[in-house]
Amino acid sequence: MIASGIPIYQFSVPKSSNIYGTFNSDKLNSRWRQKWTEIRCCKQKVGEKARTKKNYYELLGVSADSNLQEIKEAYRKLQKKYHPDIAGQEGHEYTLMLNEAYEVLIKDDLRRNYDASMGPMRGKFGKTLSGYSSWKGPLRPHALFVDANACIGCRECVHHASNTFVMDEALGCARVRVQFGDDDQKIDVSVESCPVNCIHWVDREELAVLEFLVQPQLKEGYGVFGGGWERPANVFMAAKTLSKQLKEQAEAESRQRNGRVKVEEETPAQAEARANASMKIQMERFGRMWNNLKPLFGSNIWDQK
């Protein structure tokens, strides 16, 4: 038990995470962690992004206050998608992370330790920390949005309007916690104060999509080697293209279904099969985005106390 306990602990404490990085001969690519396997095989390194902390709850797609049953179900669902039996060898790294997260969250004492190591922030704000802003007062046509890609983490906005903006310590950038949490003047000052002009006024309708897209998303399936989290470089563009992609998804799914039948019937060239498989993974990713968006469009999320 000791042997299994130690690595878990390492993962949950950020300061020890640099143990991984220190083995990394190619520091430019990842400032936090490079997987062992990448030392051996670098072909999967696509769009690698740095990340500061692995969040088990986000990995499993559950909230921090979810019960054992929810965690188990989420784990099984993800395993069914990414286990190497199903996704092939590419699912290996991701499944390892899933197993690690599950191992911790399923055991009461380990989970408590983990929650504690995540800092008091998580306990205090619970769900609201997970990236979406809530509203104070009536809904307005415009809303504030921080482009986390541009944010340099200067804390100016938090300083000027501390009820509206919070610093996401895990990501190292500011974000909106409560829309119009401060009076208009304070908000104006804070927007002005931003040295990189990363605080934008956006339409309320766009906000959900933007806030969803700006959160680092788990890179699905084949891309997990690169560290597992990414966000679009330009969220505004990404938001526009998302609807287009969703439309394409429907088309592609039917295409992919055809491809699947082909695989079953006869053994086609391996290249074709691989193309089908990668297309499928890509499509599933859009499918997941769509699933995540659905509850947001159900508007009641806006007022979350």
Sites of contact with another protein (CB under 8 A): 1, 3-4, 6-7, 9, 19, 21-23, 25, 27, 36-37, 39-40, 72-73, 76-77, 79-80, 83-86, 88-92, 95-96, 99, 102-103, 260, 263-264, 267-268, 270, 273-274, 276-278
On the CB side of 9, CA atoms within 13 Å amount to 7
Place of tokens 């404490």: 13
Place of tokens 């000027």: 160
Q: CB-wise, 65 or 73, nearer to another protein?
A: 73
Q: CB-wise, 63 or 278, nearer to another protein?
A: 278
Angle subtended at Cα 49 by Cα 46 and Cα 54, rounded to the nearest 5 degrees: 120
Residue 37 Cβ vs another protein, minimum distance, rounded to whole Å? 8
Q: CB-wise, 37 or 234, nearer to another protein?
A: 37
b/e burial code for range 202-214 (CB count within 10 A of at least 16 → b) = beeebbbbbbbbb
Residue 225 Cβ vs another protein, minimum distance, rounded to whole Å? 13
Residue 80 Cβ vs another protein, minimum distance, rounded to whole Å? 5
Dist. CA 164–CA 193, nearest whole Å: 14
Residue 62 Cβ vs another protein, minimum distance, rounded to whole Å? 15
Q: CB-wise, 77 or 159, nearer to another protein?
A: 77
What is the secondary structure of 206-238 as a DSSP string? HHHHHHHHHSPEEPPGGGGGGTSEE--SSHHHH
Q: CB-wise, 85 or 188, nearer to another protein?
A: 85
Q: Where are the beta strands (DSSP E) in 118-234?
A: 134-135, 142-146, 165-168, 173-176, 178-179, 199-203, 217-218, 229-230
On the CB side of 253, CA atoms within 13 Å amount to 11
Residue 170 Cβ vs another protein, minimum distance, rounded to whole Å? 22
Residue 86 Cβ vs another protein, minimum distance, rounded to whole Å? 7
Q: CB-wise, 101 or 143, nearer to another protein?
A: 101
Beta-strand pair 173-176/217-218? unpaired
